[in-house]
Structure 1
Amino acid sequence: MTHYASQPSLPERYVRLAHAIDAHLPGFIDGYGGDPAWADRTPRGPADLKREAADLAEHVADVPEDTRRRWLAAQVRAMHTAARMLCGEGVPYADEVRGLYDIEPFRADHAALDAGLRALDAALPGCGTLAERKAALRERVAVPRGDILRVAEPIMTELRARTQARFGLPQGEDFRIGLVTNRPWSGYNWPLGNLQSRIDINTDLPVLLTALPDLLAHEGYPGHHTEHATKEQKLVRERGWSEHHLQLLNAPECVVSEGIATNALDAVMNKGEVRAWLTGDLARVAGLDAGDVAAMLDAQAAQSSLKGVSAAAAMMLHGEGRPEREVLDFLMHYSSVPEAQARMSLEFITQPTLRAYIFTYPVGGELVAGVLAAQGTAGYARLLSEPVTPGELREMRVD
């Protein structure tokens, strides 16, 4: 156990341990808006971090509030897993996913993926190969880089209004949007603390009009930004649970966060509303053909069973030891994309803090979709405002 000048509180120990791990594993912390004095990155050996995580877990067991205790216990188990890996322990990839995220990884179901490709092939208009027709349609519904923020503005206005009406928003919350390049993701929300976020949109690949409402709901309203701001207000400011000043990238909270974000658009609009909006007002704002927009929406719906392709590729690479070339070909085939785009997906799943993270999207998405189906708005509102573990998600979706 590490000793300080005065015995720190449990939240302080939690925050300090996270920063000590982040010093060895940059990116382990996704955001922090608390006391700067707790953000101590003084070098500490991995063995010390492992002992601290084990000791912290024992103290978490004494937390009186059941909800807080379960959440902290899951988070600290992930910290212990990260510390074990920093110590050089040979943690199998599937156990890495389980230890960090409290979820089960999965392998590629080639029969289901092949069925998804057939559905996509049938939905895509035009002549040529599946990849050629997909690329041509994507080009026709892409928003020019110079128009992205202009087109995004009415989308964010509508999403914010619906989120405010359905779930409420903390007073003073806000975020700014920026365009970036040379990133392995399409969009990212950076929690800044004080109810603020920064949303980056990657323009290395075409930004499709048909994907823009989902992306902005995912990163903004009622997705990541809404969750971070709501939990800061309700858990930190109102309840004094300072551990929620911190967001970790390699911990179970991300399964819930990505599940919330993956289902964010569905939480405020039904699919008919989204389709009418995109083929009507938004197509006119973007200056795109409504027929092309409708065709792209059909294609996106047809390929819904292909959403787990990158996670399956990660299991092939890290869990099964498949050659990188084989994994790249798998990504190109089942994502129907050129090699350059497949390499972006490969880059994502080879980064140390993202190689296991990729499972949070399909698994978290499925779990939260189950909560929405079982409990509707009330269930989603709980996820926005309370600390919930993946295990609790599994229970909520069958209530």
Structure 2
Amino acid sequence: MLIDVSGSLEEDHHHMDDIARFYVKCALWLGESDPGYVNTYFGPERLREEALTVEVSPESVAGYAGELLATLDTIEPLSDDARVRHAGLRGLVRALEARARGSFDFDAAFGVPAPGDDPGWFEGFHTALDGILPGSGDLAGRYRGFMAPFVVPPDRFFEVFVAAVAESRRRTAEHIMLPPGEGIEYLAREGCSRYLGGGRSLIRVHIDHPVTIDRILPLACSEGYPGRHTIQAIRDAILVRGRDWIEHTVVPVASPFATITGGAARFGVEMAFPGADRTKFTEAVLFPLAGLEPDDAALLDGVSAIATGLFYPGTARVAAGLAAGTLPREEACGILKGVLLLTPETAEDCLRCIEGFGAYPAAVHEGYRRVRDYVGASGPRRWERFARILTAPLMPADLAGTP
């Protein structure tokens, strides 16, 4: 199916509207046979119903995607706005084609190269933990033993998490104008958080899974402000309702935009709570709400920083290896326990989550690195640069250098 693009080049947005509409249908078709592909869809219900009146195989979707790419090649965008949209559509359709073909093309799916192999990457983190953790003997046992007293009681988790979200929203709103009517609903049930459209998100709070107090703010910022909810609400207001770029109403788990969105969401806590702010707020507000003693809060901060530096590169390597078929499941679980120091139960939960998301954690880790380097560690323009990432449909290649 080729879309006619003959006529004036000034009509490039009109032609891209047609391409975007068919791309959305293709994504919805693929989502029917590949349930993990579409994270959320908040576009017109009529378009979804129109698409799902027929069944379309992944092979056919891949063929359609190839035709859409060929059609995009015939369009010469005339304005900066059109060039941004054209590049974004190419990235989305290319990722769709790779997913539909079932091939592990990491660069096509996420717009970044796959992580390289470095067998000893974790040794520095283990050495650092060994030097900071109290006691002696088995590193994994010492780490788990130290973290155990900091688990938030399940009956207090919801209150602690909502307080963290409220403060992260307040801090974000000091720098970024949030869309009118935006907000978050909470559901105490396992599952993926989703953007619902119209500035609203549903965040699922897993109160049955043990979560330590140091993870509350990163989770609140990543899922809420200035993370995924904020990004989707702003892009919905600017790109979908403001410009009618319908391609942004479907959010696939594998795309170049997912790389940047996930990376920015993870970086969010470093924007909202820079420097010592995270430790101060956690100790002053979250510890009392959780009913925990803040005696070792400073040491917890140091241990948590090292463990975080260990966790994300580790899960990225596991995700990439599993997706490529080069890492057996049993070996992957062994890495999560022996290298990332997770308990057997947590390692199994983490592995199931990685399997559900495919190579996405690896892309997010690279996206985080690019967002971090683009925004910078300090300076008056940090929020300006971060706001650009939130509001503009940037590709990973756009985050080279400074704006």
Which has the higher mean CA deviation after the structures are superposed, 188-197 or 303-312?
303-312
Deviation at 1:277, TM superposition (A): 1.2
Query: 1:372 maps to what in 2?
Result: 375
SS at match of 1:199: strand
Query: 1:206 maps to what in 2?
Result: 210
Decide which of 78, 87, 90 is 1:70's aligned counterpart: 87
Does the Cα contact within 8 Å between 1:137 and 1:292 map onto a contact in 2? no
Paired residues for 1:189-204 under 5 Å: 189-204=193-208
C-alpha distance in structure 2 between counterparts of 1:303 and 1:117, whole Å: 9
Alignment pair present for 1:385 and 2:391: yes
Deviation at 1:269, TM superposition (A): 2.0
Deviation at 1:155, TM superposition (A): 1.6
Cα distance change of structure 1 residues 45 and 326 upon mapping to structure 2, 3 Å threshold? closer
Does the Cα contact within 8 Å between 1:108 and 1:309 map onto a contact in 2? no
Query: 1:331 maps to what in 2?
Result: 336
Query: 1:55 maps to what in 2?
Result: 67
C-alpha distance in structure 2 between counterparts of 1:155 and 1:47, whole Å: 45
Does the Cα contact within 8 Å between 1:20 and 1:44 map onto a contact in 2? yes
Does the Cα contact within 8 Å between 1:260 and 1:383 map onto a contact in 2? yes
Query: 2:243 maps to what in 1?
Result: 239
Deviation at 1:398, TM superposition (A): 4.7
Decide which of 311, 314, 317 is 1:312's aligned counterpart: 317
C-alpha distance in structure 2 between counterparts of 1:201 and 1:373, whole Å: 31
Query: 1:259 maps to what in 2?
Result: 263
Structure 1: segments with no counterpart, 5+ residues: 86-90
Q: Which amino acid aligns with 1:344?
A: D
Cα distance change of structure 1 residues 260 and 57 upon mapping to structure 2, 3 Å threshold? same
C-alpha distance in structure 1 between counterparts of 2:345 and 2:162, whole Å: 30
Deviation at 1:164, TM superposition (A): 1.0
Q: Which amino acid aligns with 2:47?
A: W
Deviation at 1:285, TM superposition (A): 2.3
Query: 2:253 maps to what in 1?
Result: 249
The one-character-per-residue Cα deviations of 1:160-201 (angstroms, maximum 9, x if unpaired) are 1111110110000011122234x6xxxx43011111111113
Does the Cα contact within 8 Å between 2:320 and 2:362 map onto a contact in 1? no
C-alpha distance in structure 2 between counterparts of 1:202 and 1:141, whole Å: 17
Deviation at 1:243, TM superposition (A): 1.7
C-alpha distance in structure 1 between counterparts of 2:121 and 2:308, whole Å: 11
C-alpha distance in structure 1 between counterparts of 2:38 and 2:98, whole Å: 15
Query: 1:124 maps to what in 2?
Result: 133
Q: Which amino acid aligns with 2:175?
A: R
Does the Cα contact within 8 Å between 2:2 and 2:71 map onto a contact in 1? no
Identity of aligned residues (%): 25
Does the Cα contact within 8 Å between 1:113 and 1:305 map onto a contact in 2? no
Does the Cα contact within 8 Å between 2:318 and 2:327 map onto a contact in 1? no
SS at match of 2:179: coil
The one-character-per-residue Cα deviations of 1:284-327 (angstroms, maximum 9, x if unpaired) are 22221112332221101123431211121234444463433222
C-alpha distance in structure 1 between counterparts of 2:26 and 2:254, whole Å: 13
Deviation at 1:266, TM superposition (A): 1.1
Which has the higher mean CA deviation after the structures are superposed, 24-33 or 256-265?
24-33
Query: 1:360 maps to what in 2?
Result: 363
C-alpha distance in structure 1 between counterparts of 2:280 and 2:200, whole Å: 31
C-alpha distance in structure 1 between counterparts of 2:331 and 2:151, whole Å: 30
C-alpha distance in structure 2 between counterparts of 1:2 and 1:57, whole Å: 10
Count of residues in Structure 1 that have an aligned counterpart in Structure 2: 379
The one-character-per-residue Cα deviations of 1:115-165 (angstroms, maximum 9, x if unpaired) are 111111222224552222222222211111111121123222211111111
Does the Cα contact within 8 Å between 1:125 and 1:295 map onto a contact in 2? no
The one-character-per-residue Cα deviations of 1:35-82 (angstroms, maximum 9, x if unpaired) are 112112221133321221112123334255011111111011001112
Query: 1:177 maps to what in 2?
Result: 186
Deviation at 1:2, TM superposition (A): 7.5
Query: 2:7 maps to what in 1?
Result: none
Cα distance change of structure 1 residues 315 and 158 upon mapping to structure 2, 3 Å threshold? closer
SS at match of 2:121: helix
Paired residues for 1:39-54 under 5 Å: 39=48, 40-41=51-52, 42-54=54-66
Deviation at 1:234, TM superposition (A): 0.8
Does the Cα contact within 8 Å between 1:119 and 1:303 map onto a contact in 2? no
C-alpha distance in structure 2 between counterparts of 1:212 and 1:180, whole Å: 17
TM-score w.r.t. structure 2 length? 0.88
Cα distance change of structure 1 residues 17 and 316 upon mapping to structure 2, 3 Å threshold? closer
Cα distance change of structure 1 residues 162 and 312 upon mapping to structure 2, 3 Å threshold? same
Decide which of 45, 65, 72 is 1:36's aligned counterpart: 45
C-alpha distance in structure 2 between counterparts of 1:139 and 1:152, whole Å: 19
Alignment pair present for 1:295 and 2:299: yes
Does the Cα contact within 8 Å between 1:116 and 1:304 map onto a contact in 2? no
Cα distance change of structure 1 residues 398 and 304 upon mapping to structure 2, 3 Å threshold? farther
Structure 2: segments with no counterpart, 5+ residues: 4-14
Cα distance change of structure 1 residues 151 and 323 upon mapping to structure 2, 3 Å threshold? closer
Query: 1:88 maps to what in 2?
Result: none
The one-character-per-residue Cα deviations of 1:14-55 (angstroms, maximum 9, x if unpaired) are 211111111111121111111112112221133321221112
Does the Cα contact within 8 Å between 1:11 and 1:242 map onto a contact in 2? yes
Does the Cα contact within 8 Å between 2:156 and 2:289 map onto a contact in 1? no
Paired residues for 1:21-32 under 5 Å: 21-32=30-41
Does the Cα contact within 8 Å between 1:139 and 1:206 map onto a contact in 2? no
